[in-house]
Structure 1
Amino acid sequence: MRINRSIRFGIGVMALAIVAAGCGGGEEKNASDSAASGKLTVGIKYDQPGIGQRNPDNTYSGFDVEVAKYVAGKLGVKPDGITFKESPSAQRETLIQNGEVDFIVASYSITDARKQKVDFAGPYFIAGQSLLVKADNTDITGPESLNGGKRLCSVSGSTPAQNVKDKYAKDVQLQEFDTYSACVEALRNGAVDAVTTDDIILAGYAAQFPGQLKVVGKPFTTEKYGIGLAKGDTATRGKINDAIDEMIKDGSWQKAFEATVGPSGYPLPAPPTVDRY
């Protein structure tokens, strides 16, 4: 029996596709592979003074940026080989899972829920959730004073927003925006009464608007900042953990903190211990 030429051609194409798939064409690159090429795409925040910020001249500054540069250097990538990508809180896991970034350094708290989707190196810093209010506010002194219909702003997809929902949402009107800078603007124009996130981030905003805003109350959570990367990329996670250890030991960690966060008045904390889970 004769086989139609078009059918034979189709069978041949399918066979080639199967062979190609069997030869490893579907293997995924990890962060170490990217670093070996001299290039890395790193997720950061663009709107957190002292932590991660894109400046008007399109340069980047902040403690997270310095940590990212140091880690990249230990992976063999020079600063000009780094592409920084904005990583909003609600999109961080998706950016990692889709391979749009090699790793994320963006005030990214390590939580059990997030560890189901991505891996973490670190922590490289330990912060605590607090509150930012107008400088003349005397009503709000801590989370226990968030009652009577106070309007509180945080960011969707963030740990602070979830904390408020779980513990302090009975008498609070929680408003969630895409960025903390939008929350701060709402606070300045009177649309909300307070902003909540980690104290180190709030200190940066208070310093950005001296005399207008202040951080109140003692931190009421413990937030371990980690470097997020693809789930299962244990080789790269180990290398990044080694880099964080070295950054702390050689004094670069303290130097980076003092140059970026220090001007806000936030006191130098003790460096964290890397958790090699």
Structure 2
Amino acid sequence: MKLRKASLALATGLALSLTLTACGGGSGSDDGKITIGIKFDQPGVGLKTADGEYTGFDVDVATYVAKELGYDAKNIEWKQAPSANRETLIRNGDVKFVAASYTINDKRKAEVDFAGPYFLAHQDLLVRADDDAGIKKVEDLNSKKLCSVTGSTSAQNVKDKLAPKADLQPFGGYSECLTGLENKAVDALTTDDSILAGYAAQKEHQGKFKLVGLKMSDEPYGIGLKKGDKELRDKINKALEKMKKDGSWDKFVKKNFGAANYAYEPAPEITETS
């Protein structure tokens, strides 16, 4: 009798263990929850607001994808994914995936895999709405004051390759650049047009700034995931295709960037399939 009871207890324990394992979901997910990496400081793209809400195009895209993977919005745990930490978060399994203005390039693909792209951004310039500095093309930045966010390569790329006489003005962050632009301490700010549009669309900034509309680079945003996870990549790509077809992609773009009159590109073709 004791032996039968012990065998029954062992079988019950094994069944419970298998059930818990099945519910776990693997890297970045546990007990029906999923952890997703986003930016916390990019209005219109990925922002954690003062009241603890998460907003932006990447947030909407990631929420849609998570739902297609079987996770309700209430079960998403958002994790800050600064540019320098994205690959580490993915490799360590701290997140299931990253959607954080994450440009697909060969250097990053050596460390992680991507799904997508789901958006095509370009490096652009933000100027004052009245364009009193007369900046119509990148060469017009020569002798003009260009905001350079500490640690950013965008402004340096302009100076090195496109407008060598541009006067770089270092600031601690984009918000400081916007204040400098409004106060005429600088004449332009440069980074991805999606990020610039997000700032310009903020309620406190509406009508003050505009994008010049240059395309100084191509920045295809992808969803980063652990290298070799073909199953997850294929599922995310399927979700992204559905998002485009059912109109959600357009809705998300207009919701987050519409106030900036941003001439965005159509949803790009998905290329990260192998």
Scaled to the shorter chain, the TM-score interval is 0.7 to 0.9
TM-score by length of 2: 0.78
Q: Report the CA distance between 1:31 and its aligned residue.
A: 7.4
Q: Distance in 2 between matches of 1:192 and 1:91?
A: 30
The alignment status of 1:227 with 2:253, answered yes or no, reads no
Contact 2:117 2:268 in 1 (8 A): yes
| SS class of match (1:261) | helix
Q: What is residue 89 of structure 1 aligned with on the other side?
A: 83
Contact 1:118 1:231 in 2 (8 A): yes
Q: Distance in 2 between matches of 1:43 and 1:157?
A: 20
Residues 60 and 264 (structure 1 numbering): CA distance in 2 closer, same or farther, change over 3 Å? Answer: same
Q: What is residue 150 of structure 1 aligned with on the other side?
A: 145
Match of 1:258 among 254, 257, 260: 254
Q: What is residue 238 of structure 1 aligned with on the other side?
A: 234
| SS class of match (2:143) | coil
TM-score by length of 1: 0.77
Q: What is residue 112 of structure 1 aligned with on the other side?
A: 106
Q: What is residue 20 of structure 2 aligned with on the other side?
A: none
The alignment status of 1:133 with 2:118, answered yes or no, reads no
Q: Report the CA distance between 1:162 and its aligned residue.
A: 6.3
Contact 2:28 2:97 in 1 (8 A): no
Contact 1:187 1:194 in 2 (8 A): yes
Give, as a single letter, the amino acid of the residue that structure 2 aligns with 1:219: K
Residues 182 and 239 (structure 1 numbering): CA distance in 2 closer, same or farther, change over 3 Å? Answer: farther
What is the CA deviation profile of residues 64-86 of structure 1, one whole-angstrom value per residue up to 9, with x for unaligned ones?
Answer: 11100011111111111111122
What is the CA deviation profile of residues 144-183 of structure 1, one whole-angstrom value per residue up to 9, with x for unaligned ones?
Answer: 222126333246256x356436523632344566643343
Match of 1:103 among 97, 104, 128: 97
Which runs of 4 or more aligned residues in structure 1 lie more than 6 Å from their structure 2 counterparts after TM superposition? none
Give, as a single letter, the amino acid of the residue that structure 2 aligns with 1:57: D
Root mean square deviation, CA, Å: 2.7
Match of 1:73 among 63, 67, 71: 67
Q: What is residue 38 of structure 1 aligned with on the other side?
A: 32
What is the CA deviation profile of residues 33-61 of structure 1, one whole-angstrom value per residue up to 9, with x for unaligned ones?
Answer: 44464222211122222221222221111
Unaligned runs of 5+ in 1: 1-29
Q: Distance in 2 between matches of 1:98 and 1:161?
A: 32
Identity of aligned residues (%): 51
| Equivalent residues, number | 247
What is the CA deviation profile of residues 205-231 of structure 1, one whole-angstrom value per residue up to 9, with x for unaligned ones?
Answer: 222212322212422222111111222
The alignment status of 1:184 with 2:175, answered yes or no, reads no
Q: Distance in 2 between matches of 1:72 and 1:222?
A: 27
